[in-house]
Structure 1
Amino acid sequence: MIKTIDFHDMDLAKNLFELQRASYLIEAELINYHEIPPLKESLNELLESKETFLGYFDREELAGALSYEVDGNELTICRMVVHPNHFRKGIAQSLLSFLLEDKKEFQIFKVSTGRENTPAKNLYIKNGFQLVRDIEIVPGFIISLLEKK
Structure 2
Amino acid sequence: MLISDISPHHHPFGQELLDLQHAAYAVEAELIGDDRIPPLHETLDALRSEPLTWLGAFDDDGRLVGAVAWEETSDEVDVNRLVVHPGAHRRGIGRALVEQVVARAAGRRVIVSTGRDNAPARSLYERLGFEAQGEREVIPGLWIAGYALTA
- Alignment TM class, shorter chain as reference: over 0.9
Within the alignment, does 1:82 sit opposite 2:119 as a pair? no
CA offset digits 1:99-121 (Å, max 9, x no partner): 21232232x11000011001101
Aligned to 1:37: 38
Within the alignment, does 1:117 sit opposite 2:118 as a pair? yes
The answer to whether the 8 A contact 2:76-2:105 is kept is no
Once the 2 structures are TM-superposed, how far is the Cα of residue 11 of structure 1 from its aligned partner? 1.3
Aligned to 2:52: 51
Within the alignment, does 1:70 sit opposite 2:69 as a pair? no
Aligned to 2:93: 91
Aligned to 1:148: 149
Structure 1: 4+ residue segments shifted above 4 A: none
More moved, 131-140 vs 49-58: 131-140
CA distance in 2, matches of 1:8, 1:36: 23
CA distance in 2, matches of 1:114, 1:9: 29
Unaligned ranges ≥5, structure 1: none
Unaligned ranges ≥5, structure 2: none
Aligned to 1:137: 138
Q: Secondary structure at the match of 2:12?
A: helix
Aligned to 1:7: 8
CA distance in 2, matches of 1:69, 1:8: 17
Matching residue's letter, 1:5? I
Once the 2 structures are TM-superposed, how far is the Cα of residue 15 of structure 1 from its aligned partner? 0.4
Q: Secondary structure at the match of 1:10?
A: coil
The answer to whether the 8 A contact 2:134-2:147 is kept is yes
Cα RMSD of the aligned pairs, angstroms, is 1.1
Matching residue's letter, 2:20? L
Q: Secondary structure at the match of 2:35?
A: coil
Q: TM-score, normalised by structure 2?
A: 0.93
Matching residue's letter, 2:148? E
